[in-house]
């Protein structure tokens, strides 16, 4: 429930020794009765509420008063049916004006405050810091009807005095109101709803003029419905984006409706001006893209409709029901006259003309370099604002009419087209932003750099211990890397936990002669143990790698630094010749049937079959054996039996 406003008075002692009024005591000051609500003196502050307004031509509610040697600050309106009341209840109170403009501490008008008995009040000025007011029907309740004036008695004029956003519930059925001026406030919306719920000024029969502040953006449904004497609603700003259904319905004195400045308004709601029989002219904004059913139905006096929209808006037949389309002027942009003459409903108007409407088209010579604003439909003599907005890395140079003003106004005398030109800005610096995907894994440098078009920036990703750099967000893996700058650039370095590279160790042998163990993948730098185990009747001779290197250790301990292929060589036990300490000669048969001979210092080698056929004679060499079997090898006179399995 909304808090009720109270009029409180700040107490500063002026005369020592005077009796201090107690809470609940009433005080009359300038024909106003107040009630004391606080006597807390820890801060010398006391509160008092407005209780009754008595008879006087003009009443001014101050921000503070002095009474009984003390100064009080007025802070609230009494919750106890505060009212305007004659001292003698047999006659009316004649008050011309009630002015709250000095009452800076009042921020609420409660529902319980009613201006009863006020037959001749003319003006009510609201407090400057008012932020909530209950339904003004309670404040403007009437005490009679003036037969001579044929009108209700009560408050006629209501004015704001501050710049706050007042939450006003309603002026519904304030029959006596003639003028409302809220122009100084910061009101954002005028509440209301479509029928059968009533709007804010609904049924204010005698209301003639309303001034709304620059801040108003929304007018809800039925806002001014049945304000039968309303002839002027002044939109002081140009930010209205919504006007609800039946907002001006049956305002039979409304002469014109000018919405041309409300360039944020997209929709003309249903029944907006339904039954406005005196409405002569309607000016719509160029932003409108829809018109609801019966929006101008019954506007029998309508003689001019201005629609500054290039493409005709689809509308229903009943939108202009009752309008004399043979005499009413339909004013549209000159390039669109043909479109309106062909469009359903619009073509029923026999007088379609351009009037004072002019079209300006604002273009960009290159939309990649920059954009423009200002295209629209305007009136003859208007000064529309146009702007050239270069994209990053470019600059505005000129308009097609030679002007070099980037932001300017035009004076329109004819339909116009104007083009903005841009160029590359050689002094412009692009920004290179370098990020790390995870700060716990690594850092980058620089984090931000600036460079002109075509310049080079070097960026580096540095992993923390236990992590490694993987790639940049554009999938490039180079690190550090050079970037040639042609635009604003954002790059992110990605890291991953460090896992040492692994290499494959592959072992081969003649499985008929023996087995090998130790094959597999090993992390870089690992010491692998490789073992060759001959079968019975065979003996290990040595290891040989794919490059011809040999190793005689068995088991062999190998530090893994790359992929490695080793072959374990065996010989038939007793048929081969192992290296001896005296000469170091060795001969054996490889799995592919090649006789290998290693005999330092040996000068003559002969190889024969068991039948005596000489296969080779000469310096020691590796000889392919033609087929399995037994061979006789002679090395400098020593004979060795060789078997190829």
Q: Read out DSSP for 134-147? A: --HHHHT----EET
The CA distance from 281 to 303, in Å, is 6
Confirm if 183 and 161 have CB atoms less than 8 A apart: no
Confirm if 443 and 463 have CB atoms less than 8 A apart: no
Residue 132's pLDDT is what?
81
Written as six digits, the tokens of 243 are 């006007």
Written as six digits, the tokens of 424 are 């590359």
Written as six digits, the tokens of 510 are 């003649």
Residue 90's pLDDT is what?
43
For the chain, how many residues are written? Answer: 645
Coil/strand/helix, residue 139: helix
Residue 190's pLDDT is what?
85
Residue 43's pLDDT is what?
47
The CA distance from 584 to 586, in Å, is 7
Written as six digits, the tokens of 16 are 């020592």
Confirm if 170 and 200 have CB atoms less than 8 A apart: yes
Question: pTM (2 decimals)?
Answer: 0.58
Coil/strand/helix, residue 138: helix
The CA distance from 36 to 606, in Å, is 137
Written as six digits, the tokens of 334 are 């000159």
Coil/strand/helix, residue 340: helix
| Mean pLDDT, rounded, of the chain | 83
Which residues of the chain have a pLDDT value below 70? 1-21, 39-46, 55-56, 79-94, 110-120, 134-153, 192-197, 574-584
Beta-sheet strand order (sheet of 218-219): 189-190, 218-219, 242-243
Residue 86's pLDDT is what?
43
Q: Residue-wise over 397-436: b if at least 16 C-beta within 10 A, else e?
A: bbbeeeeeebebebebeebbebebebeebeeeebebebeb
């Amino acid at each position: 429930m909304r808090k009720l406003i109270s009029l409180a008075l700040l107490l500063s002692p002026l005369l020592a020794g005077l009796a201090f009024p107690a809470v609940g005591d009433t005080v009359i000051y300038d024909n106003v009765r107040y009630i004391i609500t606080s006597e807390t003196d820890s801060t010398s502050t006391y509160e008092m509420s407005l209780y009754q307004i008595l008879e006087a031509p003009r009443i001014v509610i101050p921000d503070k008063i002095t009474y009984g040697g003390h100064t009080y600050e007025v802070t609230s309106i009494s919750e106890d049916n505060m009212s305007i009341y004659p001292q003698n209840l047999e006659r009316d109170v004649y008050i011309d004006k009630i002015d709250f403009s000095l009452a800076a501490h009042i921020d609420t008008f409660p529902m319980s405050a009613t201006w009863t008995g006020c037959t001749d009040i003319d003006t009510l000025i609201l407090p400057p810091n008012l932020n909530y007011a209950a339904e003004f029907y309670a404040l403007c309740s009437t005490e009679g009807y003036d037969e001579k004036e044929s009108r209700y008695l009560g408050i006629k004029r209501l004015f704001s005095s501050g710049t706050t956003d007042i939450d006003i519930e309603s002026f519904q059925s304030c029959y006596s109101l003639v003028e409302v001026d809220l122009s100084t406030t910061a009101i954002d919306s005028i509440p209301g709803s479509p029928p059968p719920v009533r709007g804010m000024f609904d049924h204010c029969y005698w209301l003639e003029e309303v001034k709304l502040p620059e801040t108003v953006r929304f007018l809800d449904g039925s806002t001014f419905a049945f304000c039968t004497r309303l002839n002027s609603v002044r939109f002081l700003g140009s930010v209205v984006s919504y006007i609800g259904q039946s907002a001006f319905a049956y305002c039979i004195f409304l002469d014109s409706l000018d919405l041309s400045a409300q360039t944020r308004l997209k929709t003309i709601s249903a029944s907006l001006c339904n039954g406005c029989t005196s409405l002569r002219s309607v000016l719509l904004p160029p932003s409108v893209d829809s018109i609801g059913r019966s929006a101008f139905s019954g506007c029998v006096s309508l003689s001019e409709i201005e629609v500054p929209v290039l493409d005709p808006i689809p509308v229903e037949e009943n939108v202009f029901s009752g309008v004399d389309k043979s005499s009413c002027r339909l004013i549209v942009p000159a390039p669109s006259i043909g479109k309106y003459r062909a469009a359903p409903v619009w073509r029923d108007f026999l007088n379609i003309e351009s009037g004072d409407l002019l079209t300006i088209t604002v273009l960009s010579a290159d939309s990649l370099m920059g954009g423009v604003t200002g295209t629209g439909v305007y009136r003859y003599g208007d000064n529309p604002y146009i702007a050239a907005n270069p994209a990053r890395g470019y600059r505005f140079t000129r308009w097609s009419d030679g002007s070099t003003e980037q932001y300017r106004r035009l004076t329109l005398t004819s339909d116009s087209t104007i083009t903005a030109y841009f160029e590359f800005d050689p002094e412009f610096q692009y920004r290179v932003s370098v990020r790390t995907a995870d700060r716990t894994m690594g850092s980058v440098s620089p984090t931000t750099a600036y460079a002109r078009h075509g310049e080079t920036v070097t960026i580096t990703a540095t992993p923390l211990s236990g992590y490694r750099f993987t790639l940049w967000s554009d999938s490039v893996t180079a690190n550090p890397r050079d970037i040639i700058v042609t635009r604003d650039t954002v790059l992110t370095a990605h890291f991953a936990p460090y896992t040492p590279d692994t290499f494959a160790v592959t072992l081969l042998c003649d499985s008929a002669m023996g087995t090998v163990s130790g094959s597999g993948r090993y992390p870089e730098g690992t010491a692998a143990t490789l073992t060759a185990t001959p079968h019975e009747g065979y003996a290990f001779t040595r290891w040989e790698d794919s490059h011809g290197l040999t190793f005689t250790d068995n088991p062999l301990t190998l530090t893994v630094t790359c992929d490695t292929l080793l072959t374990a060589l065996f010989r038939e036990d007793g048929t081969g010749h192992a290296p001896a300490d005296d000469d170091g000669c060795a001969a054996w048969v490889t799995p592919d049937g090649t006789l290998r001979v290693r005999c330092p210092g040996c000068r003559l080698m002969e190889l024969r079959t068991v039948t005596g056929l000489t296969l080779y004679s000469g310096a020691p060499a590796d000889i392919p054996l033609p087929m399995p079997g037994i061979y006789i090898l002679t090395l400098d006179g020593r004979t060795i039996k060789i078997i190829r399995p």
